[in-house]
Structure 1
Amino acid sequence: MAGMGEEEDLITEEDPLTGQGDGSARARRSPCSDPAHWLHRIVVLVFMCFLGFGSYFCYDNPAALQTQVIQDMKLNTSGFMQLYAWYSWPNVVLCFLGGFLLDRVFGIRLGTIIFASFVFVGQIIFASGALFNRFWLMEAGRFVFGIGGESLAVAQNTYAVNWFKGKELNLVFGLQLSMARLGSTVNMNIMGWVYDRIKDLMGSAGPTTLGIALMIGATTCLFSLACALVLGFLDRRAERILKKEQGKTGEVIKLTDVKDFPLQLWLIFIICVCYYVAIFPFIGLGQVFFIEKFDFSPAEARAINSVVYIISAPASPVLGFMVDRTGKNVLWVACAILATLAAHMMLAFTFWNPWIAMSLMGLAYSLLACALWPMVSFVVPEHQLGTAYGFMQSIQNLGLALIAMAAGAILDNRGYLFLEVFFCACICSECYLSS
C-alpha cells in the first residue's frame, strides 16, 4: 500500500503549466520544450546570444556613418565624439547600480526587458534627432541608449550563469562575445550601404536621410527586445517546471570596500582605461582616417575599420582557452599592450597596408580582454569582486567619455598624426605600469 501511495502521488502531482501529472507531462514534452534537456537550452542560448545584438549593432552607428553624421548635422569632430561621451556618462554610475537593480528591484526577467527597452527607445530618440535636425536630441538619445546598454550586458551574463553554470559556461560566454562582435561588424559594413540606398531614393543626402537610416538600425534593437521577452517567458516557464529560483548577478556592491583595494588592483584599473581609450575612440574616428591617409573608398574604409571586431569574434574563445591553459595572465597582458602599440605606430608612421595593423590590433584586443579582466579575481577576495568589477567598468566609462571628447578636440586642432601619437602615449603609459 505504501508503494501504491507513492506511485499515486507521482501520477497526481500536477505540472504547474499543464495541470497534468508531472510524470506524464514530462514524458509528453518534446526535448525542445523540456527545460532540463540540452536541446531546449540550445534554443535558449540562441535567444541569449541575440539579446545584445541590437545594442552592439547600434553602439557604433556613429562610427559607421562618421562622414555622413558630420556633414548632415554640420558638426566638427569634437561634436561628433560627444555621441560616444553621452553613451558613457550614465555608465559611470550604472555599473554600480545595474546588478543591484537586477537582483533587488526588477528581477532578471523584468530588468532585462526594461534595459532592452531603454536601448530601443534611446535609438529611436537618436534617429529622431537626425530626422528633425536637432543634435541635442541625438545626444539625449545616446544618453538613454547608454542607460540600457551596459546593464543589458550584465543581464545577458546573468542569464548565461543561470542556465549554463558549470563546464559549458566559458563556451557560452565566448559565443555571446562572438555574437556581440558580429553585431558591431555587420553595423560597420552595412549602415553606409543603407544610407546610400536611402539617399538614392530621396534624391539627396541630409538629416532626413540620416534619420531614416538610423531608424532602420533601430529594428535590430526591437529584435533584441523581442529576444528579452521570449527569454523572460522561457525562464519563468523553467522556474515553474524545475522549481528553481530566479537568477542573480552575484554582484554585491559595497562602496566601503574601495578603501581596502590593493595597489595591484588600482594598476589593473589604470591599465584597463589606458588600453580601451586607445581602441574605441580610434574605431569611432577610424573611417575618415583610412579615407584620408590611405585613399580608401568609404566602403573600403568601413571594412577595414571593422577588422578589430571581425577578428575578435572567433579569436576571443580561442585566446581565452589559451590564457586558461597557460595561466600567465600578466605576460599575455604585456604582449597585448606591445602588439597594440606596434599597430598604432604602423598606422601613424608608415603607409603599410593597414590590414596588417588592424589585424594585429584585433588579436591584441581579444587577448587583453581574456587576460586582464580575470586578474581582478587574483588580487581581491570573492566578496569584493562585485565592487571591484563595478568600479573597473565605472572608471573605464569615465575614461572613455573624457578621451572621446579629448580625441575630437585633438583631431579638430592637430590632425590624425597627433591623435595617433596621443594614443601611442596612452599605451606607453600602460607598458610602464605593467612592467
Structure 2
Amino acid sequence: MSPPREPRNEVYFISDNYSLSNYNDRQVGKGRRTRVRKATMDPSSCSFRFIVLFFNCILTFGPYFCYDMPTVLQNELQGIPNKTCESHEIVPTPGECCEDCTGLSPAQYNLLFAVFSWVNAVTVLFTGFLTDKLGNRAAVLLYSSVTLFGTSLFAVTTINSLRSTSAMFPLMLIGRMMLGSGNGGMRIVQDRVTAFWFKDKELAMAFGIMLSFSRLGSVLNFFVTTYLYDRFGMAWTFGAGAGLCGFGFLSAIILSALDRHGIRQLGQEEQIALQSKEVRVAHIRDFPGLFWLLVATITLFYSAVMPFVADSSKFLQDEYGLSKPVSAYTAGVVYDVALILSPVFGLTLDKYGRRGIVAVCCTGVLVPIYLTFLFTKLYPVILTVTLGLSYTLAAISMWPSVTKVVGAAYLGTAMGLTTCILDVGRGISNLIVGKLLGDVESLTEAVKHERWSHVLIFLSCNSGAAFFSSVILSICDRCKYDKLLDKPKPRDPDKYLPESWKEADPLLGESNPAIN
C-alpha cells in the first residue's frame, strides 16, 4: 500500500464570481469548483503585485528621461553650428557656437514641448477606448513601441548628415509627437494595471511609487545628460535616451506576461473580456461638477509649473549666472523631491486624507515662488525645493482624487479626458512662454531680464488662477459632496453618478478579495 499523500496547498475558483480563495483559510461556497495547483508566483500574494508594479513603473522611466533631455541641452539645441558661424563670419559669444549645435530658435525649442503636450492631448481621448478594445497587454506593447520609435527618430535627427538641414526640425517634431502619443497611452495603461492589482490595498502608495520612478528618469537626466554630451556628443546622448525606451519595451513584454499569468490564475480572463464596457460620449456630460473643478485645478497648476521647469536651466544661467551643470542640477531638484517623497506623501494622504486642503496649499505657494524669483535674488535651490514640494503634493493629492470622484467603470475615460485638457493647457502655456522669450538668442542682459520678467508674471497669473480654482474645489467638496476628497477612507463615488450607470461592472473588474 502506497503511503498517504501529503495535502497540497491548493486554491479553488468559483465560476459564479471568479473570486479566488485559499482552501485552508475558508470553505468554498456553492458553485462549480475547479481545482488548480498553486503557481510559483501566486497572483494572490503581496509579492506578485509589487513585482507587477515594478515592471509597470519601468514603462515610463525612459520616456520621462527623454522628455526632459532638451531642457538640459537647451544651449546646445539653440546654439549656432560651427559651420554656420564660419560661413557667415560670426564673432560668437562664449558658448554660442559649437560643433554639434542645432541652431533652434527659442520658439522652435519651446515647440518641442508644445507638440508633445498637444499630441498627447489628442491621443489620450482615444487611448481609454483603444485600451478597452485591445486589452492592457496588447496596448502596452503598442504604446511602448511607438515611444521607442519616436525617441530613436529624434536621436537620428542630430547626426551629422541631418543636423541643421531643412529636414531636421520637422523630423524632431515627428519624434516628439510619437513620444507624446506613446507616453500618454502608457500612463493610461499604468493606471489601469495599478488600479486592478492594488484596489483597496496600497493604492495611493503605488501611485506614489509610480510617480517616483517616472521622476527618477527626469532626475537622472539632469545629472547624467551633461556628462554624456561632453563625453560622446549630442547624437549618442539622445541615442542613450532611446536605449532607455528600448528597456521600457522589454519591461512591457514582461509586464504583459505577468498580467496574463496573474489574471489566468485568478480565473478572470474571460470575465474581463466579457465585461469590457462601451462608454458613450454622452456620459461625459454627466460627470459631477467636482470632477470638472478638479480638471481645471490640475490643468492650471501644471500649466504654471511645467513650462518653468522646461526653461528653468536657461533661466538660472541668465538670471543667476550659474554654470550649465549647476543650473541643470538646481532645476532637477524639483524632480528630486518628487522622487524621494512621493511614496511617503501617498501613505500619509491615504491615512489622513485632506486632499482638498492640500490642493489649496500646493497652488497657493506658487505665486510667492514666482514673485520671489522676480523681485529677489534668493538662492534658487530654496525656491526649487519648495516648488518640488508643491509639485509632489499636488500630483499625489489631485490625481488619485479623480478615482474618488468618478466611478470605477468610467475611470479610463475620466483619466483620458483629464490628461487631454491638461496637455492642451500645458501646450498653450509652453507656446506663450516661447513667444514671450522671443525668437532672437543674442540679446543684451537688460532685454533678457525684461523677457524673463514677463514670463514670471505670466506664470504668476496662471498660479493665481489655479489657487482660485482649488479654493472653489475645496468649498464645493465640503458643501455639496460631503467632504469626499478629505476623507481618508474609500468612499462610494457611484452615488454621484446617474442611476443608469450604476448597474455596470467597473472596467477594471470588481474588487479582488483574494489579492492580499
The letter of the residue matching 2:452 is Y
Question: What's the CA shift for 1:156?
Answer: 1.8
The correspondence for 2:52, drawn from 8, 31, 44, is 44
Task: Decide which of 93, 118, 127 is 1:98's aligned counterpart.
Answer: 127
User: 1:24, CA displacement in angstroms?
Assistant: 9.5
| 2:416 equivalent among 390, 395, 404 | 390
Give the 3-state SS of the residue equivalent to 2:304 in structure 1.
coil
Paired residues of 2:56 and 2:190 also in contact (CA < 8 A) = yes
Q: 1:425 aligns with which of 461, 481, 486?
A: 461
Secondary structure in 1 matching 2:268? coil
Give the conservation status (yes or no) of the 8 Å contact 1:78–1:412: yes
Which residue is equivalent to 2:228?
Answer: 194
Deviation at 1:37, TM superposition (A): 4.1
Q: Name the aligned partner's letter for residue 304 of structure 1.
A: T
Relative to structure 1, the CA distance from residue 178 to residue 377 in structure 2 (aligned partners, 3 Å threshold; closer, same or farther) is closer
- Per the alignment, residue 274 of structure 1 pairs with 300
Q: Does 1:232 align with 2:256?
A: yes
Aligned residues: 404
Unaligned runs of 5+ in 1: 11-21, 199-208
Asked if the contact 2:188/2:415 (under 8 Å) is kept, the reply is no
Q: Provide the rounded CA distance (Å) in 2 between the counterparts of 1:68 and 1:244.
A: 52
Aligned twin of 2:86: none
Q: 1:251·1:387 contact (CA, 8 Å) conserved in 2?
A: no
The one-letter amino acid paired with 2:70 is P
Matches within 5 A, 1:66-77: 66-71=74-79, 72-77=101-106
Of 411-420 and 40-49, deviating more is: 40-49
Query: Could you tell me whether the CA contact under 8 Å between 2:363 and 2:390 is conserved in 1?
Result: yes
Q: What amino acid sits opposite 1:358 in the alignment?
A: T
Pair 1:320–1:262, CA change in 2 (3 A)? same
Question: Which of 168, 175, 185 lines up with 2:202 in the alignment?
Answer: 168
Q: Report which of the two structures shows the higher radius of gyration computed on alpha carbons.
A: 2
1:324 Cα deviation after fit:
3.6
The alpha carbon displacement at 1:318 in A equals 2.4
Cα distance between partner residues in 1 of 2:247 and 2:418: 30
Question: Which position in structure 2 is the counterpart of 1:220?
Answer: 244
The Cα offsets for residues 191-242 of structure 1, whole Å up to 9 and x where unpaired, read as 11100111xxxxxxxxxx3222101111100000000011112222333444
1:140 maps to which residue? Answer: 174
Paired residues of 2:204 and 2:350 also in contact (CA < 8 A): no
TM-score for both structures, normalised by structure 2 = 0.72
Give identity over the alignment, percent: 30
Q: TM-score with structure 1 length normalisation? A: 0.85
Alpha carbons of 1:275 and 1:45: their partners in 2 closer, same or farther (altered >3 Å)?
closer
Distance 1:242 1:432 in 2: 46
Instruction: Give the corresponding residue for 1:85.
Output: 114
Change (3 A) 1:250 1:39: same
Structure 1 CA distance for aligned equivalents of residues 387 and 224 of structure 2: 22
Cross-structure match for 1:18: none
Question: Partners in 1 of 2:372 and 2:395 — Cα distance?
Answer: 22
Write the letter of the residue equivalent to 2:106: T
Query: For structure 1, which segment, 182-191 or 227-236, has the greater mean C-alpha deviation from structure 2 after superposition?
Result: 227-236
Q: Which structure has greater helix proportion?
A: 1
How far 1:61 sits from its partner (Å)? 1.3
Is there any run of 5+ residues in structure 2 with no aligned partner, and where?
11-33, 80-100, 440-449, 472-516
Q: Is 1:56 aligned to residue 64 of structure 2?
A: yes
